[in-house]
A and B are shown apart, each in its own frame.
Chain A
């Protein structure tokens, strides 16, 4: 029996080793530019893979490696140098491309996630009160913004919001400013991206909450009503506590997803005003000169960011597992 379980497990191991291998590879490349600073985070395996991939890595040449690493080092150095006061410190950070990308990514993540949860919850509550015949149709259309690929979705919105498109014209008319263009100002671009983010991700929250509402125990609601709770109070004290686990679930998934925001920036052509970490890497990878090591460095930083975001989940899952075992 052990053998029979082991056989599929081998395939699992093989493929789960498959992905780690790449992650380790990234870290190996990063070993050069960051020197001893990052060395703590590198596995023993990483050095082994380094030796394996060393003949491949040598094609790049140590000089270029150092140069590109230099970029990253000088960024960090700049940050350190300007850290005498908080105000100039952040201003200095904003000028560095990496930290600008970081700033947008974090803002996007932490603005979009709560908004989409609220919107999703409201839609779920509203849809739940509909007649059964309409529910299917509504769910069908609600799924659309989520199912279409982010690039397509953002393009569709982008064309509408263009100053010659319908929404753009409508906004100009409402603001009474014929030269208003969402693409021209940084603040409005951010707002546009955030609105897109909520539009794209709210259906997910909606579907999850809607499923949660189906499991809502009726008798609790009834007893709340007998106790004299108004409709608002019922939602506040019965429905929302019931959905709380789902809220954390959605929040975590969306934190992860929003953190890697990337396609909207390409779709909205918003590179000049907002860059995310993913876009930053993409930019290094693409273009005339493929800055592989620079991209790898920012990749590692992004992964560290993900790890920080994820750490609460990991701790929780670990506790769950401990509790089960």
Chain B
């Protein structure tokens, strides 16, 4: 059956495969190029004379004796103390994911199990808040944070990120819990569980796929955030992304773009691993809301 209905002409197949190849190049080439270039000196990365310099590392060879050099990384990690930003990012991401998952799980469960009208309004509110650009909320946070002298420290931005992240987590976990049949908790309760025990012993064991997916997306949000962290964190507490942006501010004058390039590669690497490990969950999370319409 498949053979008959899915046979394509050679031309069409060539075209389709060619299209995929072009797309792959468009999608992946910039990253490979930057990764390759991050081991070069700036004159190779931005080669005015000849673009093949960037491939062969002509100038790098002249300066360092080999066509690869780790000076960009050394400059970024040791000289500019990028590791500090990495530690900050780790703290922020971990706290944001844990907090928003805890609240989101309880909240999403409750919302999916209660049939009242206000749940609809809560979810709609969540949707609206998801649509609002985070930066607009940040402008609301700034003044009180200044007044209470909370500006610039990590916990503050964690709280803000959780708050911004929460509508999304809630919405997503709500739809996951909606997929867990109500009969499960009901039969647990018939067997003598309280509502909380039903949640603890029946729902928690089956909810992990949804929670992991949601956690992934919360992580991505915290990791990728620029608007909130760049506004709310003092210089010594910056996370990776604002730190890179700050690199650009200083490096363009110093003529040392390679620090920023190395930092960008370092910041992309964890994401690369993440996609590699959790591709299935990411795809399912992206489509969870969609396929149901």
Q: Are B131 and A310 in contact (CB under 8 A)?
A: yes
From B113, B189, B220, A147 is in contact (CB under 8 Å) with B220
Residues in A143-174 with C-beta less than 8 Å from chain B:
143-145, 147-153, 155-157, 159-160, 162, 164-166, 169-170
Q: Contacts A26-B139, A285-B142 known; A150 to B224 CB distance under 8 Å?
A: yes
Q: Which residues of A contact B189 (CB under 8 A)?
A: 1
Q: Contacts A19-B167, A126-B19, A148-B271 known; A4 to B195 CB distance under 8 Å?
A: yes
Q: Are A164 and B126 in contact (CB under 8 A)?
A: no
Nearest B residue (CB) for A322 = B120
Q: Are A20 and B231 in contact (CB under 8 A)?
A: no
Q: Are A12 and B20 in contact (CB under 8 A)?
A: no
Nearest B residue (CB) for A266 = B245
Q: Which residues of A contact B111 (CB under 8 A)?
A: 9, 12
Residues in A293-325 with C-beta less than 8 Å from chain B:
295-296, 299-300, 302-303, 306-307, 309-310, 313-314, 317-318, 321, 325
CB of B253 within 8 A of chain A? no
Stretch of A70-78, A85-93, A184-192, A207-215 at the chain-chain interface: A207-215
Encoded as 1 (CB less than 8 Å from any A CB) or 0, chain B from 115 to 147 comes to 001001010111111111111111111111001
Q: Are B54 and A166 in contact (CB under 8 A)?
A: yes
CB of A273 within 8 A of chain B? no
CB of B87 within 8 A of chain A? no
Q: Are B244 and A152 in contact (CB under 8 A)?
A: yes
Q: Are A12 and B106 in contact (CB under 8 A)?
A: yes
CB of B16 within 8 A of chain A? yes
Nearest B residue (CB) for A123 = B23
From A18, A144, A211, A259, B27 is in contact (CB under 8 Å) with A144
CB of A241 within 8 A of chain B? no
Chain A residues touching B, range? 35 or more
Q: Which residues of A contact B138 (CB under 8 A)?
A: 281, 285
| Chain B residues within 8 Å of chain A by Cβ, number | 100
Stretch of B64-72, B78-86, B207-215, B279-287 at the chain-chain interface: B279-287
CB of A180 within 8 A of chain B? no
From A207, A259, A318, B283 is in contact (CB under 8 Å) with A207
- A164 to B59 Cα, complex, angstroms: 15
Q: Contacts A16-B122, A151-B241, A309-B131 known; A285 to B106 CB distance under 8 Å?
A: no
Q: Which residues of B contact A212 (CB under 8 A)?
A: 287, 290-291
CB of A66 within 8 A of chain B? no
Residues in B263-282 with C-beta less than 8 Å from chain A:
264, 267-268, 271-272, 274-276, 279, 282
- A8 to B289 Cα, complex, angstroms: 23
Nearest B residue (CB) for A215 = B291
- A192 to B247 Cα, complex, angstroms: 23
Q: Are B166 and A15 in contact (CB under 8 A)?
A: yes
CB of A290 within 8 A of chain B? yes
CB of A111 within 8 A of chain B? no
CB of B180 within 8 A of chain A? no
CB of A62 within 8 A of chain B? no
Q: Which residues of B contact A7 (CB under 8 A)?
A: 196
From B19, B26, B37, B195, A5 is in contact (CB under 8 Å) with B195
Nearest A residue (CB) for B102 = A11
Interface residues of A (CB under 8 A from B): 1, 4-5, 7-9, 11-12, 15-16, 18-20, 22-23, 25-26, 29, 53, 56-57, 59-60, 122-123, 125-127, 129-130, 134, 136, 138-145, 147-153, 155-157, 159-160, 162, 164-166, 169-170, 199, 203-204, 207-208, 211-212, 215, 218, 221-222, 225, 231, 245-246, 249-250, 256, 259-260, 262-263, 266, 269, 277-278, 281-282, 284-286, 290, 292, 295-296, 299-300, 302-303, 306-307, 309-310, 313-314, 317-318, 321, 325
Known interface pairs A141-B27, A147-B282, A246-B293; 15 further A-B residue pairs with C-beta atoms within 8 A, sorted by A's residue number:
A4-B195, A4-B196, A9-B114, A18-B166, A126-B17, A126-B23, A139-B283, A148-B31, A159-B46, A199-B27, A221-B5, A260-B132, A278-B135, A281-B136, A281-B138
Listed from nearest, the 9 A-B pairs whose CB atoms lie closest are: A4-B195, A149-B224, A260-B133, A299-B136, A164-B46, A12-B107, A8-B110, A211-B287, A295-B139
